[in-house]
Amino acid sequence: MPAKKKTEDVDKKPATSKKIAAKKAAPVKKPATKTTKSTMATATTEKKAPKKTTRKPSTRAKLSAQKPEMPRERRFENKLNSFGGKKKTEFTTEEKLKALYQLQLIQSEIDKIRIVRGELPIEVNDLEDEVAGLETRIQNLSDEAEEVNTLINQKKQLIKDAKDGVKKYEEQQMQVKNNREFESLNKEIEYLQLETQLAEKRIKEYTADYAAKSEVLETSKAALEERIKDLNTKKEELEDIIAETKKDEEQLLKFSDDAAGLIEERLLAAYNRIRTNARNGLAVVTVQRDACGGCFNKIPPQRQIDIKQHKKVIVCEHCGRILVDHEIEI
Ligand SMILES: [Zn+2]
């Protein structure tokens, strides 16, 4: 190892200690190193990439892909136990930084689970909105169709009444005494005939309208059926995924509480504030290639020396995230 370059040395250290930690916990040596590296690599790429890149592959595939090869619970458990029974008020700055970094790692894992799982509820919500929209539309359409139907029946009744009227006037015409009365009845008859024609015209229009509405109604009903099917499938998928990830999440939440318990209130509040404001949920980041692991701005050499000394909590002057070096991971 003395032949190694300085940078490699820095990289090597956490991995070596991981091995030791793993040895204590279980006889799984190789996967420990592997997992550490891949987890770190995933974390780095995640920072750069936006949360949602493509819709595919399926949520399920993504979930299984991100599963670590070695139980991360054991890793977190060991780390948290390493703080011993020491009071948090007696922590050195270095220990505070270590606790903060563990909290960050644990919460990032929780974030990962929630991001993946978060997409499905949104899809389910969208579908539920769509279903509700279609149901309203169908209700409105059938109300409208019903109204048109009522209008058609009214016009039909009007025609029937007009025909009766015409018959009645024609009978009266037989008994009239003079021309004036006859003409007067003629006018009434003409009027009723005109009304009948108008009503027939309206019936034609209403019938066409009714047919159009019925057609849209049918299409909407078919669409609704389809959406309900989609919705049920998505709901089932969501339930499965929630069940799958629930155990993991609960355990991580417990670790998260434990880690938070190691941090003084004031510092924890600061951490939470930074984390809430950071888009990727990262409040504590490592220095990567002389740059902040959160915003990727260069860190001045003096600041990097300060970070390495673990004497003060140092934040990135660009993004405000708490900066640690790789030693803190141990
Ligand atoms: Zn930064």
Provide CB contacts within 8 A for 220, sequence distance 6+: 134, 137, 138, 141
CA of 292 from ligand 1 middle (Å) equals 5
With beta carbons less than 8 A apart as the criterion, state whether 293 and 329 touch: no
- Give every residue of the chain whose pLDDT is below 50, as ranges: 1-57, 67-68
- For residue 297, the CA-to-ligand 1 centroid distance in Å is 6
Beta bridge partners of 292: 287
3-state secondary structure of 246: helix
Which amino acid, one-letter code, is at 167? K
Of 250, 285, 212, give the one whose Cα is nearest residue 47.
285
Is residue 199 within 8 A of residue 159, CB to CB? The reply is yes
Of 252, 249, 259, which is closest to residue 102 (Cα–Cα)? Answer: 259
**What does the pLDDT read at residue 92?**
93
Distance 279 CA to ligand 1 centre (A): 12
DSSP-assigned beta bridge partners for residue 323: 285, 314
Q: How many A from CA of 51 to the centre of ligand 1? A: 19
Which tokens sit at 26?
């279980």
Distance CA 14, CA 146 (A): 75
- Residue 12 alpha carbon to ligand 1 centre in Å: 24
Instruction: Tell me the CA–centroid distance for residue 287 and ligand 1, in Å.
Output: 9
289 C-alpha to ligand 1 centroid (Å): 13
| CA nearest neighbour of 19 among 71, 102, 75, 69 | 75
The CA 323 to ligand 1 mean position distance, Å, reads 8
C-alpha of residue 253 to centroid of ligand 1, in Å: 26
Looking at residue 247, its pLDDT comes to 86
Q: Which residue has the tokens 């919460």?
A: 107
pLDDT of residue 330: 65
Q: For residue 190, how many other CB atoms are within 10 A of its CB?
A: 12
Query: What's the pLDDT at 128?
Result: 94
User: Ligand 1 centroid vs 94 CA: distance in angstroms?
Assistant: 20
pLDDT computed for residue 265 by the predictor:
95
Measured in Å, residue 286 CA sits from the centre of ligand 1 at 10
Predicted confidence at residue 222, as pLDDT, reads 96
291-292 and 314-315 beta bridge pairing: unpaired
HSE-CB at 75 with a 13 A cutoff on CA atoms is: 26
Give helix then strand counts, H and E, for the chain: 8, 4
Residue 288 Cα to ligand 1 middle (Å): 11
Nearest to 136 by CA among 220, 209, 213, 218: 220
Which pTM value belongs to this model?
0.51
Cis status of the peptide bond prior to 57, with omega within 30 of 0? yes
String of DSSP letters for 261-297:
HTS-HHHHHHHHHHHHHSTTS-SEEEEETTEETTT--
- What pLDDT score does 35 carry? 39
pLDDT for 70 equals: 57
**How remote is the CA of residue 56 from the centroid of ligand 1, in Å?**
31
The domains of the chain, with CATH numbers, are 131-235 (1.10.287.1490), 264-330 (no CATH)
How high is the pLDDT of residue 10? 39
Cα distance between residue 299 and residue 287, in whole Å: 8
How far is the centre of ligand 1, averaged over its atoms, from the C-alpha of 284 (Å)? 10
Element (H, E) at 178: none
Distance 48 CA to ligand 1 centre (A): 13
Ion ligand 1 nearby residues (CB, 5 A): 292, 294-295, 316, 318-319
SS3 330: coil
